[in-house]
Every structure is written in C-alpha cells, then in structure tokens.
Amino acid sequence: LLPVESISALSRLHPKPAQIHFQYGTAGFRTIASVLDSVLFRVGVLAGLRSKKLDGKTIGVMVTASHNPEQDNGVKLVDPRGEMLDTSWEIHATALSNAQTTDDFIRELEKLVQALKIDLSKPARVVYARDTRPSGASLVSSLEDGIKAIGAEGRNAGATRETPQPLTIDCANGVGAPIAARLVEYLGDTCLWFWKTPLNNACGADYVKTTQKLPPSLAGRLQPGQRGCSLDGDADRLMYYYLDDRSHFHMLDGDKITALVAAFIVELVKTSGLDSQIKVGVVQTAYANGASTKYLSERLPVRCVSTGVKHLHHAAEHYNIGVYFEANGHGTVLFSQPTQDILASYEPTTPAQSTALEHLRNLNQLINQTVGDALSDMLLVEVVLAHKAYSGNEWDSLYVDLPNRLVKVVVVDRTQFKTEDAERQLVSPVGLQQKINELVRRYDGGRSFVRPSGTEDVVRVYAEASIKTQADELAFRVAGLVY
Ligand code: 16G
Ligand code: ZN
C-alpha cells in the first residue's frame, strides 16, 4: 500500500550524503544547509505518515535554523495543535534520515508503517514554511517532493514571499511627474509611470476621489490584482486603488492610508519595547469614514479636528508620533523631537526589539514631515505594504468602509452656516442641527453633518449609513433641510 514507486523515483533525486549521521533533537534537524537535501525530502514523507497516523490532522513543518549563522538550516515537525513533534517520533525521524540508500529508506518506511499500524488509506495534510535563509527555497522544494511522494496534501504557508506587483503612478502630469520618472530609474520596473495625460484632466488624485473611478488613461494598463496611485497636480495628495480579480476598481483613500500606516507604527513601537515612552495618535476630520474611526479607535487615540491640513498638522504635533491623512489624501506622519531623541539613543535588548527600532528610525528618515510630499507618502505606503506582504485587497480588508454620500448645496449665503465640535455640529442657522439629528436617528448607522466649504461658494453635506441607498437618501434629505 505504500506508494513505493513514487517514493523511490523521487528519493533518488535526493540521495543521502555518505558518512553523515543525522540526529533529530530538540531543535529538529539542524546543521550546515548544504547536507540537508535528503533530510528535507524524508521529513516530507514522514510528515505525511504522521498526519495519516493522526487521522488526517494537519502536521506542520518549519524550515529554519533559528538564530544560527546564515549557512546553517534545519527543519522541525509540529504536531496538530502547534506543539512539538511527539518525542516517540523523534527516533523514527532519525532512523529515516540515516537510511543510506533509497532501498534502505523504503525498508525503514515499511517497518515504521507496520510497527505503528499506520492506515495508509487515510488522508494526509502538511503545512510548511521557511525563514529567509538563502538555502530555504531549495530545501523547501525537496520537502515538497517528499510530501508529494507520500501523496499528502501540502500547503505553503509562507515559504516564498511573492514579489510585489509593480505600482503604476499617475502624477496627473503635474510637478510630481519628472520626480517620479527619476524614482523609476532607481527602482527599475518595480514601478511604472506615465504622464501622457493633459494636466489634471480625467486623472490625478482629485479625479479618483470624486469620481471613485480609475483614470481612463490607466484602463488596460492596470491589470487585475495590480495597484496604482494618483497624485494631484501639485503632488500633495495621494490616492491608491487596485483592481480585483474581476477587474473591479477599489479606492484606497487617505483613511485607508491612515489605518495602514498607524497600525504598522503602533506594532513597531510595541515590538521595540518603547510603548510606555512613545504614544502614537491619529488625527482625522469629520469626513473620515466611520469604519476607519472605529478601526483606529480600537488601537490608538484618535482626535477629530476641522477640515484643512493646518488643523490636522497642529493636532498631530501633540502626539509623540502623530499620523494624519485627510480622506482626500493630504497628510503625513510627525515624529516629535523628544521621540526622535529616544529613537536615537534607545538600546534594544533583543533582536526583535533591535529590528523594530531600526524600522522606526528608517521611517523617521523616509517620511517627509513637512506636509505636502505625496511621493514620500507613496514610498511610505509601499514600505508598509512590502513589510506586511499585503496586496491591495488585503490592505483594503483592514476595515470595510461604511456607505457614504457627499453632496453640495448652493445656498443664498453660506456665511450663515457656522459650526462647532470640529464641524460636526451646526450652531447657525439656529434649530437646523436638531432637525438633522432627528433625521439621522431614523437611519441604521446614520451619521451626517453640514459645513460651509472653505474653497467654493457652497455648503457641503456628508452622510453615512449602513446601506448605500440609505446613505444617499439621508444625504439628500439633509440637503433638503439646508436648501
Ligand atoms: C483645502 C485644504 C484641504 C481641505 C479642503 C477642503 C490644504 C492644503 N488644503 O483644499 O485640506 O480638505 O480645502 O475644502 O489645507 P472645502 O472647504 O471646500 O471642503
Ligand atoms: Zn494639491
């Protein structure tokens, strides 16, 4: 019943080196990587047998030599609940790994199957991963041969880091374009660029945010699964987006950038052991999607201020590290001077702390803390995506936007409209806010506010609700009150 033919055929591709004795110890097999090929193959077979023995429960295989030097590698088996391989099986692992020829190996396997009464008709599942050692990839492929030879189902849980898809940059043919072109020279075809579009015409961050569409000039250029970004003409706003597998467009706005970046920085501060000394906070405006505010509030302090970069920037200065992006893509991250001093002088005590500290120091260098540099923001996003190995879709899934609607209303005199509480409450015209509140109460997940535009002769109405039709309806009914 043992698939002798497939095991023999594949085993011959992974001969055991002569005169080497392997030993499965506390750390599994661990030695110089160049002699481990046959061991990995055989561990694949053994993992399959162990899974069959446990009625098809999943066995883990980790290819790593932990803190050993780079030229070493190793492999250990993990039992179904995440515990170390049952010690009684360590002897079997050692015996199999030391069988000199393929025939010896088959004989050992048959002995094992018989002695342990393994029912070979059972299914077998193996999940595996590796660390970043250069030898890892080829050892994993030996392991995969072993998994295949015994007929187990294998799942790669991180053995290779997929190279990120290239990023397409749309600079709206503005001032960012020549700079992006120079960036591409450094980064090669990991990012593409173009600036063929007429300035600010059907392209750029504002087009993307207001139409929630892919700039037409990118259609056909951006492939399913790929992400792109648009800067505005003066390169101080950034919008991301991606096409899903069915080529549907998804926008990743300033709120999504805030969530991505703030969660990453919080994690680094914690890992570095600096969380009691460095407090990270977020600043948003009332336009921030309610789902982003909820996601962020569960992780760090969030403040809401009036629209406009000057308000956000000043509020962000009150944190040790302040993260802010308006939904429309303006923003940056600020590291206070005392925080920069702490980062410079802090002495980490573990390798993990040291790595996290190094990342924080590098972020402090990468981020242009003078607001208005969308290319620096773009590099920041790319760095976080690469570290987290996130695709556009995974980033987008951090939280799901609440449906929302923005409408503008032309009024006789917009100076009549005065707000407080970071523009979330109207104090004039008197009585209007109460009417808005009464309407909002009737909508599930409803939220709405009204403020005079600072840039156009209109009043803006924003509404959110848990379903899209309701968000639209609420916005238009509030607009009806304003008009
Ligand atoms: C300006 C602001 C922007 C804000 C927008 C609101 C800067 C650099 N720009 O463009 O932050 O979102 O006004 O416009 O501060 P609105 O008042 O017409 O809604
Ligand atoms: Zn701008």
Ligand nearest to the CA of 455: 1
Nearest CA to ligand 1 atom 5: 308
The CA distance from 321 to 62, in Å, is 37
Q: What is the whole-number distance in angstroms between the Cα of residue 279 and the centre of ligand 1? A: 28
- Choice between 193 and 427, residue whose per-residue pLDDT is larger: 427
Q: What is the whole-number distance in angstroms between the Cα of residue 158 and the centre of ligand 1? A: 43
Ligand 1 contacts CB of residue 455 (under 6 A): yes
Q: What is the mean pLDDT of residues 130-140?
A: 89
Q: What is the mean pLDDT of residues 265-285?
A: 97
pTM for the full model?
Answer: 0.71
| pLDDT for the residue numbered 249 | 97
Ligand nearest to the CA of 324: 1
Give me the helix-helix angle, 102-115 and 4-11, nearest 10°.
Answer: 140
Just give the CATH number of 167-252.
3.40.120.10
Ligand 1 contacts CB of residue 460 (under 6 A): yes
Q: What is the mean pLDDT of residues 261-274?
A: 97
The CA distance from 303 to 316, in Å, is 9
Ligand 1 contacts CB of residue 453 (under 6 A): yes
Q: Does 81 have pLDDT greater than 80?
A: yes
For the stretch 202-245, pLDDT in tens is 899 999 998 999 999 888 888 898 999 999 999 999 999 999 98
Q: What is the whole-number distance in angstroms between the Cα of residue 404 and the centre of ligand 1? A: 19
| pLDDT for the residue numbered 351 | 84
* CATH number of 404-482, picked from 2.100.10.30, 3.30.310.50, 3.40.50.300, 3.90.180.10: 3.30.310.50
Q: CB–CB of 396/261 below 8 Å?
A: no
Instruction: Pick the catalytic residue from 34, 66, 141, 247.
Output: 66
Ligand 1 contacts CB of residue 419 (under 6 A): no
Residue with tokens 């990839």: 137
Q: What is the whole-number distance in angstroms between the Cα of residue 221 and the centre of ligand 1? A: 31
| pLDDT for the residue numbered 264 | 97
Atom of ligand 1 nearest to the CA of 309: 15
| 460 is known to lie in a ligand binding site | yes
Give, in degrees to the nearest 5, the angle at Cα 368 between 376 and 257.
Answer: 55
Percent of the chain with pLDDT over 70: 97
Ligand 1 contacts CB of residue 76 (under 6 A): no
| 56 is known to lie in a ligand binding site | no
Whether 4-156 shares its CATH topology with 404-482 is answered no
Q: What is the mean pLDDT of residues 138-154?
A: 95
- Residue 108's alpha-carbon distances to 2, 99, 389, in angstroms, are 12, 7, 41
- Residue 216's alpha-carbon distances to 98, 233, 234, 352, 373, in angstroms, are 63, 17, 20, 45, 25
Q: CB–CB of 243/223 below 8 Å?
A: yes
Q: Does 190 have pLDDT greater than 70?
A: no
Nearest CA to ligand 1 atom 3: 308
Ligand 1 contacts CB of residue 232 (under 6 A): no
Q: What is the whole-number distance in angstroms between the Cα of residue 293 and the centre of ligand 1? A: 20
| pLDDT for the residue numbered 389 | 82
Written as one string, the DSSP assignment of 102-153 is HHHHHHHHHHHHHHTT--TTS--EEEEEE-S-TTHHHHHHHHHHHHHHTT-E
| Reported confidence tier of residue 158, pLDDT bands at 50, 70, 90 | confident
Q: CB–CB of 186/204 below 8 Å?
A: no
Residue type at position 133: R
Q: What is the mean pLDDT of residues 425-431?
A: 97
Q: Does 414 have pLDDT greater than 70?
A: yes
Ligand 1 contacts CB of residue 328 (under 6 A): yes
Q: What is the whole-number distance in angstroms between the Cα of residue 221 and the centre of ligand 2? A: 25
In 3-state terms, what secondary structure has residue 33? helix
The CA distance from 16 to 147, in Å, is 17
Q: CB–CB of 71/30 below 8 Å?
A: no
Atom of ligand 1 nearest to the CA of 458: 18
Nearest CA to ligand 1 atom 2: 308
| pLDDT for the residue numbered 5 | 94
| pLDDT for the residue numbered 22 | 97
Residue with tokens 């061991």: 39
| 164 is known to lie in a ligand binding site | no
Of the candidates 93, 110, 119, the residue with the CA atom closest to the CA atom of residue 40: 93
| 327 is known to lie in a ligand binding site | yes
138 is catalytic: no
Q: CB–CB of 453/384 below 8 Å?
A: no
For the stretch 302-315, pLDDT in tens is 999 999 999 999 99
* CATH number of 254-396, picked from 3.90.1150.10, 3.30.450.40, 3.40.30.10, 3.40.120.10: 3.40.120.10
The CA distance from 260 to 471, in Å, is 25
| Reported confidence tier of residue 188, pLDDT bands at 50, 70, 90 | confident
Q: Does 289 have pLDDT greater than 60?
A: yes
For a substitution probing ligand 1, which of 455, 457, 462 has the most ligand atoms within 8 Å of its CB? 455
Just give the CATH number of 4-156.
3.40.120.10
Q: Does 112 have pLDDT greater than 90?
A: yes
| 350 is known to lie in a ligand binding site | no
Q: What is the whole-number distance in angstroms between the Cα of residue 22 and the centre of ligand 2? A: 64
Specify the length of the chain in residues: 483
In 3-state terms, what secondary structure has residue 465? coil
The CA distance from 262 to 142, in Å, is 40
Could you tell me whether strands 227-231 and 167-170 are parallel, antiparallel, or unpaired per DSSP bridges? parallel
| 159 is known to lie in a ligand binding site | no
Q: Does 183 have pLDDT greater than 90?
A: no
Of the candidates 227, 171, 228, 237, the residue with the CA atom closest to the CA atom of residue 198: 171
Residue with tokens 């030391």: 98
Nearest CA to ligand 1 atom 8: 309
The CA distance from 29 to 85, in Å, is 12
Give, in degrees to the nearest 5, the angle at Cα 414 between 411 and 420.
Answer: 130
| Reported confidence tier of residue 159, pLDDT bands at 50, 70, 90 | low
| pLDDT for the residue numbered 163 | 62
Ligand 1 contacts CB of residue 414 (under 6 A): no
247: CB partners within 8 A, 6+ apart: 224
Write down the domain spans for the chain: 4-156, 167-252, 254-396, 404-482
| Reported confidence tier of residue 338, pLDDT bands at 50, 70, 90 | very high
Its ipTM equals 0.96
Q: Does 189 have pLDDT greater than 70?
A: no
